[in-house]
């Protein structure tokens, strides 16, 4: 068993945004072509605690070198007030030759970067290249989104921020100083929605709280947190998802829209088909909303990228006696 820590994951993935984008793109295309197995995520919730949860995402990614595994990720939003990360995760990677678990990899960095890569791929595929983006929610996810948008959209020069906690927005702006970007903080969420034709929502909202009326015509909204947008606004937008069966559950905005309308006709396309070469025409008048549930095959694809690099470069800790030993031969001396 190879164990790869958070620092080692960051070391391996440093300045490798293009490799992560390629891994996530490949996983989406394979999923669209039926080369994956992706059971529904398991949500572990707790009595008298509606806010916290732990989610299990099992997945199989098939190709020339198939792999299986699972991400186990917790979301405890109250951690933020204690100076801790909201999410923590571990990913187990299994061999398809014998089923043995071959790696245990710290997963929060992988989870954040595969989410950001998904957003960046959608931004490049679903709308004309943007020079500015509004980031609503100034946490780890949107910082990674900005990192990956810079890789996918080299013409990006402006960023507008909004967070209910003004201090978090200010701290986020200071972190952006490493990049040559014009950064501003919006006074309210409506200003942020209308500041640019590209908007990314990465909040901890549990119920819808936003409409799309303040977005520009033809805007692309990357709806990463899935529960921000009112169902009525979802139904009037052009909707792209990663997997309709996965995203229309667990009280997401799309799930609520489906319950209200009785169908999924408001979903226009899947991102895997688009990235695989299916035609796509951006509507310059209507808002496009991209709502990725966050498929376990993406975590698996990036985890396998990390595992292979760790094996190649001698990174991580190996436990040779992690697995159960073979049964003893009763006839042996």
Query: For 246-270, what is the mean pLDDT?
Result: 97
Count, residues in the chain: 333
Q: What is the pLDDT of residues 150-194, one digit of tens each?
A: 999 999 999 999 999 999 999 999 999 999 999 999 999 999 999
Q: Are 148 and 117 in contact (CB under 8 A)?
A: yes
Q: What is the pLDDT of residue 275?
A: 98
Does 331 score more than 80 pLDDT? no
pTM over 0.95: no
User: Using an 8 Å Cβ cutoff, are 125 and 275 in contact?
Assistant: yes
Please tell me the predicted confidence (pLDDT) of residue 78. Answer: 87
Give the CA angle between residues 5, 110, 125 to the nearest 5°. 160
The DSSP line for 54-102 is EEEEEEEE-SSS-EEEEEEEEE-GGGGGGTS-SEEEEEEEE-TTT--EE
Dihedral angle computed from the Cα positions of residues 252, 256, 257 and 263, in that order, rounded to the nearest 10 degrees: 110
Per-residue pLDDT at 61: 96
Model confidence pLDDT, tens digit, residues 200-246: 999 989 899 999 999 999 999 999 999 999 999 999 999 999 999 99
Looking at residue 182, what is its pLDDT? 97
The pLDDT of residue 268 is 98
CA atoms of 90 and 84, how far apart (whole Å): 17
């Amino acid at each position: 068993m190879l164990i790869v820590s958070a620092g080692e994951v960051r070391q391996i993935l440093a300045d490798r945004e293009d490799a992560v984008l390629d891994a996530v793109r490949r996983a989406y295309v394979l999923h669209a072509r039926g080369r994956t197995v992706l059971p529904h995520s398991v949500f572990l919730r707790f009595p008298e605690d509606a806010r916290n949860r732990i989610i299990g995402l099992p997945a199989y990614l098939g190709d020339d070198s198939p792999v299986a595994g699972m991400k186990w990720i917790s979301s405890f939003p109250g951690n933020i007030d204690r100076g801790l990360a909201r999410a923590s995760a571990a990913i187990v990677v299994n061999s398809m030759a014998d089923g043995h678990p071959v790696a245990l990899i710290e997963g929060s960095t992988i989870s954040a970067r595969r989410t950001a890569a998904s957003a960046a791929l959608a931004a490049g595929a679903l709308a004309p290249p943007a020079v500015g983006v509004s980031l609503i929610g100034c946490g780890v996810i949107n910082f990674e989104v900005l990192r990956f948008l810079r890789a996918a959209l080299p013409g990006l020069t402006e960023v507008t921020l909004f967070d209910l906690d003004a201090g978090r927005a200010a701290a986020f702006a200071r972190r952006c100083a490493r990049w040559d970007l014009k950064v501003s903080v919006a006074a309210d969420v409506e200003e942020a929605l209308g500041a640019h034709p590209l908007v990314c929502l990465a909040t901890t909202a549990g119920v819808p709280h936003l409409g799309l009326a303040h977005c520009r015509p033809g805007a692309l909204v990357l709806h990463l947190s899935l529960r921000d947008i009112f169902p009525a606004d979802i139904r009037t937008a052009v909707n792209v998802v990663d997997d309709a069966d996965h995203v229309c559950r667990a009280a997401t905005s799309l799930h609520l829209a489906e319950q209200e309308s009785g169908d999924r006709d408001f979903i226009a396309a899947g991102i895997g088909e688009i990235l695989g070469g299916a035609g796509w025409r951006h509507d310059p008048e209507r808002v496009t909303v991209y709502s990725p549930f966050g498929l376990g095959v993406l975590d698996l694809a990036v985890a396998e990228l990390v595992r292979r690099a760790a094996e190649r470069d001698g990174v991580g800790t190996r436990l040779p006696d992690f697995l159960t030993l073979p049964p003893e031969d009763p006839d042996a001396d």
